[in-house]
Amino acid sequence: MNWQDDDPGGGVTVAPVKEEAPERVHERQPRYNVLLWDSDDHTFEYVEKMLRELFGHEKEQCQEIAKAVDKDGKAVVLTTTLEHAELKRDQIHAYGKDHLEGSKGSMWSTIEAVE
């Protein structure tokens, strides 16, 4: 810490000289997509309910995602940080099975880095 004399009248008063902090570099955390994969063991209603409960998506957005999963085999349901993406993937896996006979469990989800 640097010091300077603040009293020009002869007395000695010592005060710290403020040092400037180094400029911070704000790096954005890498982003990850949470993907939901198609399953014949789950209904559109199941997918919509799960997306509303786990992600807070509006009904229309849930319907769009459910249609995309059915049509394309998968859909991005969220883009976020790695830690949050892992949490959401795990919540999908723990959500439970559909009411359909033959549904063996939750839907499948993975995460992928956003390029």
Structural domain contains residue 21: no
Residue 36's pLDDT is 97
Residue 51 burial by Cβ neighbours in a 10 Å radius (0-12, 13-18, 19+): buried
User: How many domains does the chain fold into?
Assistant: 1
16 domain residue, yes or no: no
Has residue 19 been placed in a domain? Answer: no
> Using an 8 Å Cβ cutoff, are 36 and 91 in contact?
no
Q: Residues 67-114: pLDDT tens digits?
A: 999 999 999 999 999 999 999 999 999 999 888 777 888 999 999 999
CATH of the domain at 61: 3.30.1390.10
- Rounded Cα distance between 32 and 80, Å, is 5
The string of pLDDT tens digits covering residues 19-63 is 777 777 777 889 999 999 998 889 999 999 999 999 999 999 999
Instruction: Give the residue from 101, 98, 112 showing the smallest Cα distance to 47.
Output: 98
Residue 57 lies in domain: 32-113
Q: With respect to residue 23, please indicate whether it lies within any of the assigned structural domains.
A: no
Does any domain span residue 4? no
Question: Is residue 79 situated within a structural domain?
Answer: yes
